Structure 1
Amino acid sequence: MPRRACPAPRRPTAVLLGALALAAAACGSSSATTANSGATTTAPAVAAPAANQFTSGAVPAADGATDMKAAPTLHAGTGTAPTTLVGKDLVVGTGPVASATSTVNIQYVGALYTTGQVFDSSWTRGQPASFSLSQVIPGFAQGIVGMKVGGRRELVIPPALGYGNSAQGSIPANSTLVFVIDLLGVS
């Protein structure tokens, strides 16, 4: 049976969409090989995320956490990084709900758990990002599913649901990632 091709990202972003080692896997193959900056990465297939597949819990501090008119400033996590997806709604939205098959329009900041160093941000590019949840790392997609438009959510994504043992640009291998995501729209 031929493999189903994944759609191209609508607006590629530096790290989040540019290093999609797991994106092809989400399209239904048992594994996927993706070229990225001359390196080849094999990623396991992942199932479509279900709603609320994260554990509510402690997340690193974020200055400006509820001010959705500006990018929050993320701090390093404290203690041992979680090994499961952890999330917390900073602002609860009231609009339509994101599903596993949604295309989302978001603002986000991504940082390393250990240092708080930002590796990607739609805020610094001056425009939101828009893409299908099937095109991103599993923890990112799972963390957005069930979120309502108008909300802001902080996620802590363990390596197994991120980039695993592969380095991606300024993200070292086996990194736990922190994202603050504002859901602006779904389709």
Structure 2
Amino acid sequence: MSDRTVAAGKRRGQAIAGGVAGALVVAVLAIVFFVVRSGGDDKQPSVATAAAPATAAADATTAAPQPAPSGAAGSLSPELSKEPEVKPGTGGPLRKLVITPLVRGTGPVVKVGQTVTFNYKLIPYAGGAVVDSSWSRHEPFTSVVGAGQLIKGWDQGIPGQRVGSRIQLDVPAALAYQKQDLRFVVDILDAR
């Protein structure tokens, strides 16, 4: 076999591998799109019924600042109008839910059963691309807390926090909807 034939075969193999990888990416994005749009009918809570993965291809750097919902209790910190940067955790695997205050809110304390409005950003705890973000959709997320509509990590970590807070939730896989540890940065914009 000549060097030219070997090189052509190598290029053909690389082209096929690239095409297969591209097709897999498109298939995964299509599946994620349909799961998010269907509202997660698989009876598994998600943050968009609790941060269901949206396309990671969304460019979070173009997200516009989002105002507080009308009727938000008290005035919110200007920091909550800026999209947070989420850095990966260290160590692991996580054994328990860890809540880290990033901005201390001054509004009312969130109670189980309230309808709460959030902005959030999600990455795998160990690092990687943004998995989901209300910032990329330019729309806060609203759900009832503590009623099983959210992942267990949110149902356990949000009650007791104050409106106007930005918190980091490090959620172990056992309290998440994926089979991995997750890191959320959550802004609590309103609770009713």
Normalization by structure 1: what TM-score? 0.60
- Asked if residue 178 in structure 1 is aligned to residue 183 in structure 2, the reply is yes
- CA shift in 2, pair 1:70/1:14, >3 Å: farther
Map 1:5-154 onto structure 2 (within 5 A).
14=36, 18=40, 21-22=44-45, 67-133=79-145, 134=147, 135-154=149-168
Deviation per residue, 1:86-108 (Å, 9 max, x gap): 01111111111111111101111
Deviation per residue, 1:108-149 (Å, 9 max, x gap): 101101124211100110011111112101111211111111
Instruction: Give 1 or 2 for the bigger CA radius of gyration.
Output: 2
Distance 1:130 1:88 in 2: 21
C-alpha displacement of 1:77:
1.4
SS for the counterpart of 1:130 is: strand
Distance 1:150 1:75 in 2: 21
C-alpha displacement of 1:14:
3.9
Q: Give the number of the structure whose residues are more often helix, by fraction.
A: 2
Superposition RMSD in Å: 2.3
Identity of aligned residues (%): 37
Distance 1:144 1:130 in 2: 13
Contact 1:74 1:116 (C-alpha < 8 Å) held by counterparts: no
